[in-house]
Amino acid sequence: MQILVVEDEDAIADPLGEGLRREGFEVTRVGTGAGALEAPIPDLVLLDLRLPDLDGTEVCRRLRARSDVPIIIVSAKGEEIDRVVGLELGADDYVVKPFGFRELLARIRAVMRRVRPEEGDDVLRAGRLEVDVRARRASVGQLELELTPKEFALLTLLAGDSGAVVTRERILREVWDTDWFGSSKTIDVHVASLRRKLGDARWIETVRGVGLRLAPQP
Ligand code: CA
């Protein structure tokens, strides 16, 4: 997923871009409103309101005039007036600086879920693997997998972005609902069991120090 970060301050844009890339997003960054309007339309825009050339609200309005791209406005504390204006201009959400990275991530995911409600997303496919999210069933070819709820959630998360690395932090957060990184061992236990059930350990690759990747096997 491609995120366009429109932010003129390196001190904010650099760590933000780095954090988003670690979460598996592709990040393009521009430092001006003109740059934002020239950039290819991404999957989501993080838009700072105080830009050196154009007002962020104007950028928002122009982006909205030509596309439905989700826009999250990022602004400094106390600019409450901008909140109303921003949302009226068609922004999808609003965060106030300084914001926590986790909070921003949650907003990004919430906005994406809203604008793409389960986009073809009920049945995930990766090679012979099929995960029917709604029916809570998973199968490899003709073989129906009997999974525990956590195994199912883990497999759904991996199959949702087959081939991409899903970080351990994200797995803990989305499957176990915790930020307690100490519980990584828990992941290993479930992965081992899931690999057994998939019938070939190579279905789930461990990317050392980063996370896991679903690698469809023939
Ligand atoms: Ca700024």
Are 26 and 63 part of one and the same domain? yes
- Give the 3-state DSSP-derived string for 108-170, with helices as H, strands as E and coil as C: HHHHHHHHCCCCCCCEEEECCEEEECCCCEEEECCEEECCCHHHHHHHHHHHCCCCCEEEHHH
Rounded Cα distance, 1 and 118, in Å: 15
Q: Looking at the predicted structure, is the pLDDT value of residue 8 above 80?
A: yes
Distance from Cα 133 to the centre of ligand 1, integer Å: 41
Are 158 and 138 part of one and the same domain? yes
Q: Which residues surround ligand 1, an ion (CB under 5 A)?
A: 8, 48, 50
- pLDDT, tens only, 106-134: 889 888 877 765 555 578 888 889 998 87
Question: CB-based contacts of 156: which residues, under 8 Å, 6+ apart?
Answer: 124, 131, 133
Greater pLDDT, 89 or 118: 89
Are 86 and 151 part of one and the same domain? no
For residue 130, count CB atoms less than 10 angstroms from its CB and return exposed for 0-12, middle for 13-18, buried for 19 or more: middle
- pLDDT value of residue 32: 97
Are 105 and 135 part of one and the same domain? no
Distance from Cα 25 to the centre of ligand 1, integer Å: 22
Distance from Cα 202 to the centre of ligand 1, integer Å: 46
Domain that holds residue 190: 123-214
Distance from Cα 8 to the centre of ligand 1, integer Å: 5
pLDDT class for 69, splitting at 50, 70, 90?
very high
Distance from Cα 112 to the centre of ligand 1, integer Å: 24
Are 69 and 102 part of one and the same domain? yes
What value does the mean pLDDT take over residues 76-90?
A: 67
Greater pLDDT, 183 or 216: 216
Distance from Cα 48 to the centre of ligand 1, integer Å: 6
Distance from Cα 50 to the centre of ligand 1, integer Å: 4
Rounded Cα distance, 89 and 58, in Å: 9
Domain boundary among 93, 119, 145: 119
Task: Identify the CA nearest to 162 among candidates 122, 138, 117, 129.
Answer: 129
Are 38 and 115 part of one and the same domain? yes
Write the CATH number for 109: 3.40.50.2300
Task: Report the range of poorest mean pLDDT among 71-75, 79-83, 197-201.
Answer: 79-83
- pLDDT value of residue 97: 83
Domain count, the chain: 2
The per-residue pLDDT of the chain, averaged, comes to 87
Are 113 and 12 part of one and the same domain? yes
pLDDT class for 201, splitting at 50, 70, 90?
very high
Distance from Cα 49 to the centre of ligand 1, integer Å: 6
